[in-house]
Each structure stands twice: as C-alpha cells, then as structure tokens.
Structure 1
Amino acid sequence: MLLDSHMFSSTRSRAELRKRLYQTFKNKGVLDTLKVQLRNQLIQELKSPHPAPRPPDGTSGTLLLSACNSMVADHLRAAGYEYTLSVFCPESGLCKDKVCITKEDLLQILQCSPSSAFFRSMVKSTVNVR
C-alpha cells in the first residue's frame, strides 16, 4: 500500500513538474522560439533536395528575392505583426532586427528618382494598420 501511494505521489509530482515547466517555457517565449526553429528546419529540409527555380532571364534572382523579402519584413514590422515577423525572418533568411534592403535601396533598384514626389512619399510613409 505504501508503494502504491508513493508511485501515485511520484506520478502526480512529475505531471505537476511537467505542467510548471511548460508554463515557464511558454511565459519566457522559449516554446515560440523552438517552434520557429523547428518550422525553419523543416522548411530547409523540404527545400534542400530541390534546386530553386531560376527566373526566366537566367539570373539567380537573389537581389529580387532579397528585395521582396525585405519589403514583406518591413511591412510586418511596421504593422506590428511581431509573431508573423518572427516566423517569416528565419524562413526567408532575413535577420529580424536588420533590414537587408532599405526602402531607398529598393526605390533605386526600381530606378525611381530621389527628387520625385513618389520617392519622397515612399520614404516618409508608414503603415497605419493598428
């Protein structure tokens, strides 16, 4: 009888410990970080056996891809979508706290004149979503 109560107590304390550990990790953001890392690793594994398609012009397209990813990241940051940004950045290879291509760089790639009204409005504009 003593053995049975000890096993029940041990099982209950393990379950309680597991629950507390889960809550601690969740509250500190460790679980979200692990989920992002696992998602990124899974995506990388799924991508690895297949070479990336090349753009029709035969170039690598890395500048265009970087520009597009930077635009999306900039929008997510400006809109306050922090969780989506934390998932998008590792998947796209961007650093969350660093902008790879600025709006000014992108506008230069698009050959917009810095003296144009469009250029000035794009540089000054912010997203007012929230």
Structure 2
Amino acid sequence: MLLDSHMFSSTKSSDTLSPDELRKRLYQTFKNKGVLDTLKTQLRNQLIQELKHPPLTGGEPVPRPVPVKSEPLLVSACNSMVADHLSTSGYEYTLSVFYPESGLCKEKIFTKEDLLHLLKINPTSALYRSLSSNKDNDKGMCSITFFF
C-alpha cells in the first residue's frame, strides 16, 4: 500500500508529522528504549566475526546470531567499575563504545556505595569510610579494587 505524501506533511493540526519530525521521534524513541545501542553492538559484533572468520566460498556470508545474555551481578559490578574508570580518566569515546557493548546505561551503573554494599563491607567500618570518602572521588571506584 502506498502512502500519500500529504499524510506526513506538517499542517496546522498536530495530528500529522512531517517526515523529518517522524524520523526524529523514531530516533529518540529507539534511543530511549535502548534499541540503537543494541543494534550498534550487534553490528560491531557481526563486523568483528566477519573479520575473524571470512567466508571461504565466494557465496554470500551466512549471518551468525549474536548471543544476548543476561549479566550476573558480579559482571555488572565489574562493568560499573570499568565505566567509572573510563569516565574519570576522560576516555569518552571508549566509554561510548563500552556502554552498549557491556549492556550498561548511565542509570544502571553501581555507585561506590552500592559496590561496598555488594562486597559486604560494614558501613560503620574505617575501611568503608576511607573508600567512600570524598577525597578519593577523583580516583573513581577503582580505589575499591586496591584493597582486594
């Protein structure tokens, strides 16, 4: 079925969207729902797989599924520490690649206090206070690993 181009033109009524407005809304929706990050990750993984294992025949390459796994708590905690290190070190580009590849988003990163709780460090202990103090904030969460 062909769509009339006037259906997408911007008019006085706010019921229709121009093609540009529709594109922007779709992009924002996909970005907010994590679809773009997932697609970027799948494309990167597929590219890496193709570079590692090029097809031996002259035929079309067979697409390999990219496994999507749920992250256990330990892996999520480690990924949070890596993301924090990249952020505090100013590696913004690397961080932008790491977020979608690790399945993290800024809202899902563990705080230093979260990590200390996961490690079952007593909040009243001197170790907890020294690790969570503001003087170490410029070091990020990586200062936690030096004690283990």
Q: For 2:75, which of 53, 60, 65 is the aligned residue?
A: 65
Q: Percent identity?
A: 52
What is the rounded CA distance, in whole Å, between the counterparts of 2:109 and 2:102 in structure 1? Answer: 11
* Cα offsets for 1:44-74 (capped at 9, x unmatched): 556945576xxxxxxx761111101001101
| TM-score normalised by structure 2 residue count | 0.46
| 2:109 is the alignment partner of 1:100 | yes
Partner of 2:88: 78
Query: For 1:4-42, what per-residue CA distance to the aligned partner results, in whole angstroms no more than 9, with x for missing partners?
Result: xxxxxxxxxxxxxxxxxxxxxxxxxxxxxxxx8876223
Q: Alpha-carbon deviation of 1:119?
A: 1.4
Instruction: Give the match for residue 131 of structure 2.
Output: 122
- Unpaired runs of 5+ residues, structure 2, are 1-36, 50-63, 141-148
User: 1 or 2, which has the higher helix percentage?
Assistant: 1
Structure-1 separation of matches of 2:73 and 2:45: 20
SS at 2:139 equivalent: coil
Counterpart amino acid of residue 139 in structure 2: V
Q: 1:43 Cα deviation (Å)?
A: 4.4
Once residues 68 and 83 of structure 1 are traced to their aligned partners in structure 2, the CA distance between those partners, rounded to angstroms, is 19
TM-score (norm 1): 0.52
Shift of 1:75: 1.1
Aligned amino acid, residue 83 of structure 1: Y
3-state SS of 2:107 partner: coil
SS at 1:127 equivalent: helix
> Aligned Cα RMSD in Å?
3.1
Letter of the aligned partner of 1:105 in structure 2?
D
Partner in structure 2 of residue 110 of structure 1:
119
Pick the structure with greater CA Rg: 1
Task: Map 1:5-24; keep pairs closer than 5 Å.
Answer: none
| Contact 2:42/2:66 (8 A) holds in 1 | no
Moved over 4 A (4+): 36-39, 43-52
Is the alpha carbon distance of 1:114 and 1:50 closer, same or farther for their aligned partners in structure 2, counting shifts above 3 Å? same
Larger relative CO (CA 8 A, sep 6+): 1 or 2? 1
Counterpart of 1:100 in structure 2: which amino acid?
I
The aligned length equals 85
For residue 117 of structure 1, report the CA deviation from its aligned partner.
2.0
